[in-house]
């Protein structure tokens, strides 16, 4: 029997590692040297990466929510520009157009936009100096039914049948741009999440290699007593998986606190109309510890088996 008392390893039956009934004396916790690979720093790095990944996931969700909300709002409205006939004022033509469109199936409400309302919309951009002399188009705002909205073709035909010269804008161009922007933001957020996961895996793989180098004496002793590479690798897998799970929980908690503060600061509309954070977004943070542990488990397994296999080959 090989004496292992000099290692001061914990009291543990090694039959689970393939060692024939050997018992080690009690001492420091764990078979691996504590903090041999700089685990506190590794835990800090993983926590920061998880924090950033959580923020990226919530930002993607909020941006997607905002974009689809804008798309729905644009799809539920239409704008009509009316050109008055000879001998007809613009206000009269706009009023006739609003009355005509109000009776079309799929239209919930149609109203002529007065000059004062149009000036109010332009005032933040142009100021008060030029507005009185600026020729403004005569517009009619149309609110469509959500369940069965009228199409631009239907509105144009109704206006033509009433003898009105008008152009219908159903905002389809803007709606398409908003939807494409939402898809781009989601893709970028997904790429950011994958980048942080890759960085965490690289850090864990490096720490695993350092841990294997620091604990080479323990590993050789276990190997001499019949422990397989898989069982030795499992020691590192379990160690780094637990470390990553704790770091992931810390990162998710910090992200939740920050997002909760921003949600409370923004009120019912979230932080802003461009980034409407909802309380439900906090549910996106719950898988973070499990995902971090999974990444650590796989990275540690790969690094450990690679190092052990290389050591076997040299031996």
What is the domain partition of the chain in residue ranges? 7-70+177-314, 77-148
Q: Which residue has the higher pLDDT, 296 or 314?
A: 296
CA distance 29 to 5: 14
| pLDDT band, very low/low/confident/very high, at 21 (cuts 50, 70, 90) | very low
The pLDDT of residue 261 is 83
DSSP line for 16-80: GGT-SS-BPPP-SSSSSPTTTT-HHHHHHHHHHHHHHHHHHHHHHHHHHHHHHHHHHHHHTEEEE
Q: Which residue has the higher pLDDT, 5 or 96?
A: 96
Q: Which residue has the higher pLDDT, 132 or 238?
A: 238
DSSP line for 285-298: GTTHHHHHHHHHHH
Q: What is the pLDDT of residues 173-211, one digit of tens each?
A: 777 787 787 778 778 877 887 888 788 778 777 776 776
The pLDDT of residue 259 is 85
Evaluate whether 141 touches 111 at the Cβ level (below 8 Å).
Answer: yes
CA distance 283 to 102: 43
| pLDDT band, very low/low/confident/very high, at 32 (cuts 50, 70, 90) | low
- Is residue 17 pLDDT above 80, yes or no? no
The pLDDT of residue 250 is 94
Q: Element (H or E) spanning 84, and its range? A: none
The pLDDT of residue 20 is 40
How far does Cα 263 stand from its chain's mean position?
16
Phi, psi of 25 (to 5 degrees): -65, 160
Q: Element (H or E) spanning 168, and its range? A: strand 165-169
């Amino acid at each position: 029997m090989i004496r292992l008392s000099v290692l001061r390893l914990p009291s543990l039956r090694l039959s689970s590692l393939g060692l024939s009934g050997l018992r080690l004396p009690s001492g420091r916790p764990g078979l691996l040297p504590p903090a041999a690979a700089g685990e506190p720093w590794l835990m800090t790095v993983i926590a920061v990466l998880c924090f950033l990944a959580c923020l990226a996931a919530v930002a993607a969700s909020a941006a997607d929510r905002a974009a689809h909300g804008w798309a729905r709002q644009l799809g539920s409205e239409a704008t009509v520009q009316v050109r008055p006939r000879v001998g007809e004022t613009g206000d009269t033509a706009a009023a006739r157009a609003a009355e005509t469109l109000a009776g079309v199936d799929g239209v919930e409400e149609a109203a002529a936009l007065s000059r004062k309302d149009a000036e109010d919309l332009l005032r933040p951009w142009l100021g008060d100096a030029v507005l009185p002399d600026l020729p403004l188009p005569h517009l009619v705002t149309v609110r469509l039914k959500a369940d069965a909205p009228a199409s631009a073709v239907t509105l144009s035909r109704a206006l033509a049948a009433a003898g009105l010269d008008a152009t219908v804008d159903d905002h389809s161009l803007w709606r398409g741009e908003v939807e494409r922007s939402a898809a781009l933001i989601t893709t970028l957020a997904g790429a950011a999440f994958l980048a942080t996961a890759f960085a965490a895996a690289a850090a864990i793989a490096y720490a695993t290699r350092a841990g294997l180098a620091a604990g080479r004496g323990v590993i050789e002793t276990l190997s001499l007593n019949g422990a397989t590479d898989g069982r030795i690798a499992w020691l590192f897998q379990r160690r780094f998986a637990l470390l990553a799970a704790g770091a992931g929980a810390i990162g998710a908690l910090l992200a939740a606190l920050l997002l909760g503060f921003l949600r409370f600061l923004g009120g019912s509309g979230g932080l802003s109309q461009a980034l409407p954070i909802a309380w439900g977004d906090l549910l996106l943070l719950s898988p973070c510890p499990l995902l971090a542990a999974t990444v650590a488990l796989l990275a540690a397994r790969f690094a450990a088996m690679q190092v052990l296999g290389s050591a076997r080959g040299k031996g």
